[in-house]
Amino acid sequence: MGLEDRIENKAQDIAGRGKEAAGAAMDDNDLKAEGKADQTKASVKDKVEDVKDKVQEKVEDIL
């Protein structure tokens, strides 16, 4: 819904990609997994934001 939330999610995704890459470069499977988890969390949050936007649109259509 909010631009701030979407920016925050994108930042989390980018940070996760960085962690994953660093983990791969350093052969650190824990860091790599943490990076993938951060990316997944960001993706889920984005999907939640999409649903919120659609619900808001429907509410506005009804009113």
Q: pLDDT tens, 8-48?
A: 999 999 999 999 999 999 999 999 999 999 999 999 999 99
Phi-psi region of 27 (alpha: psi -120 to 50; beta: other; left: phi over 0): left
Residue 57: band (very low, low, confident or very high) from pLDDT cuts 50, 70, 90: very high
User: Which sequence spans correspond to the domains of the chain?
Assistant: 3-62
Question: b or e along 38-49 (b: 16 or more beta carbons within 10 Å of the residue's beta carbon)?
Answer: bbeebeebbeeb
